[in-house]
Chain A
Amino acid sequence: MSFAYITEEGARIQKKGDKFIVGRNLETIMEIPAEILEGLVLIESVQVSSQAMVALLQQGIPVTWISSMGKFFGRLESTQHVNVTKHKQQMLVQDTPFAIELSKKIIAAKVHNQIVILRRYNRHKQSNEISTIISNILATRKNINSATSKEQIMGYEGIIARLYFEALGKIVSDPFTFKKRSKQPPRDAVNSMLSFGYTLVMYELYTAIENNGLHPYFGFMHALKNHHPALASDLLEEWRAVIVDSMVLALIQHNEIKLEHFQKSETNGGVYLTRDGRSIFLRAYEKKMRTVNKYEESKKSYRYALNKHVNLFSQALTTLDTGAYLPIFIR
């Protein structure tokens, strides 16, 4: 089925009969049959008629607005999925052994996946620096198991993340450079792609979370903050390296994305994808999401797995059994 990303400033989406029409000025650019549209991501100032909005709501098609800087603006949400029992349970499990146990499980998977990405690369490169970083990560990882609070878990996770990104910086090849993570604004092209990629996955998770009747803002690991969908952040952790980091490295390695696909913002000094760059990035992202996830038995796509994991979380939460949740471990 179809996922549409509309990135053209001034584009307009209307509903005519049983199809959505994407146009600009008075010109029709494309027609999308309503039945086959599965998701809509709008970047920049795209207009949506209120008739189209109602239809999108009725059909439960998720719509996400993102700025050209990859910042999330909002979602079109229908209230049909809200399950108050699950919401209540989400609030009750805060800081319980269930929350801590599940956090450990997810961070263990995340760190494992990060190490796999580094090792895959280092098989060819045989860099001592990277090998040293990997051993440091392994040494830090041991502490996670004995952690007793989510703050401790997140603390170790932070140390590992810094080590991991340091190693990633040694992998990124010319003319790209990457020293450390910078967000809001991203200071270089690599950070810009990482942030944009995480945002896209995060809002796919956000949608899946809502479709499962769960509340995106009540997480179990990330600290609860206003305006921050902590549960989406929690469930994103295991996927970051698997989906986004590997894809960004591949885009650079294969010369699919070039420095000319980025521009510096005059307002905040951040570095962002140009319209062409965004198009290349989105295509690569969609390809990745549709790729067979060979690490799980079902042999379905990453997008399918992402949704399934949210469903597993929902089961784990309802039964208070962390065993029901199985994070992804790549090889």
Chain B
Amino acid sequence: MSDVFTDENEFVAVDDKRYIVLIIYDIVDNKCRNKMVKCLEGFGTRVQKSAFEAYLDKKRYEKLVNKASRIVNTQEDSLRIYLLADHTSVRSWGKGHTHVEDVIIF
């Protein structure tokens, strides 16, 4: 009688579909770059010097695209945002692999 108290076969629900989003940039101007960092920190985690990862639903993804794209100077900078498909896995080595968990208990 393993599990009479919980519903059999419990699994986690996906209320809103979420995507792994990878954001990379090359920004010349320091002030502009800092602004980008600040903006991206509001959505995800910095995984490398100029790369962020985020795990977002569609609504927040759109918001991110909207906000970040306004910061770049299209003449001299570059910004690339990848919306990665469902089954993408991220494997990482070394520094910068922390991501924000869904349940934070401290």
Contacts and interface: CB of A to CB of B under 8 A. Distances in A.
Contacts of A290: 12-13, 102
Contact of A3 (B3, B6, B60, B103): B103
A120 interface: yes
Interface string A275-314: 0000100110011001111100001111110000000000
A23 to B, nearest CB: 10
A172 to B, nearest CB: 11
Contact of B5 (A17, A32, A34, A121): A121
Interface stretch (A65-73, A246-254, A319-327): A246-254
Interface in A51-92: none
A33 interface: yes
In this complex, the interface size class of chain B, counting residues with CB under 8 Å from chain A, is 20 to 34
Interface in A115-160: 117, 120-121, 123-124
A166 B55 CA distance: 46
Interface in B1-47: 1, 3-7, 10-13, 15, 38-39, 41-45
B106 A120 contact: no
B41 A120 contact: no
A48 interface: no
B42 A249 contact: no
A292 B63 contact: no
Given A247-B6, A301-B13, A304-B13, A33 B103 contact: no
B46 to A, nearest CB: 9
B85 interface: no
B42 A34 contact: yes
B45 A33 contact: yes
A35 B60 contact: yes
B12 A17 contact: no
A1 B102 contact: yes
A8 interface: yes
Given A2-B102, A11-B106, A19-B41, A120 B13 contact: no
Interface in A139-198: none
A300 B12 CA distance: 9
Interface residues of A, number: 48
A31 B60 contact: no
Contacts, number: 117
Contacts of A33: 41-45, 54, 100
Contacts of A8: 106
A197 B63 CA distance: 35
B104 interface: yes
Nearest to B37: A17
Given A30-B106, A36-B60, A120-B4, A300 B13 contact: yes
B77 interface: no
A22 B106 CA distance: 9
B60 to A, nearest CB: 6
B101 interface: yes
Contacts of B64: 35
A170 B103 CA distance: 33
In this complex, which of A17, A121, A287 has the most chain B Cβ atoms within 10 angstroms of its Cβ? Answer: A17
Given A33-B100, A301-B12, 5 more contacts: A4-B106, A31-B45, A33-B45, A35-B56, A294-B7
27 contacts: A1-B102, A2-B101, A8-B106, A11-B106, A17-B41, A17-B42, A19-B41, A31-B41, A33-B42, A33-B43, A33-B54, A35-B42, A35-B43, A36-B54, A36-B56, A123-B4, A124-B4, A249-B5, A253-B5, A286-B103, A287-B12, A290-B13, A290-B102, A292-B13, A301-B12, A301-B13, A330-B7
Interface of B: 1, 3-7, 10-13, 15, 38-39, 41-45, 54-57, 60, 63-64, 100-106
Task: List the 10 closest pairs (A to B, CB-CB), nearest first.
Answer: A18-B42, A301-B13, A4-B104, A250-B5, A249-B5, A292-B13, A286-B103, A17-B38, A124-B1, A291-B10
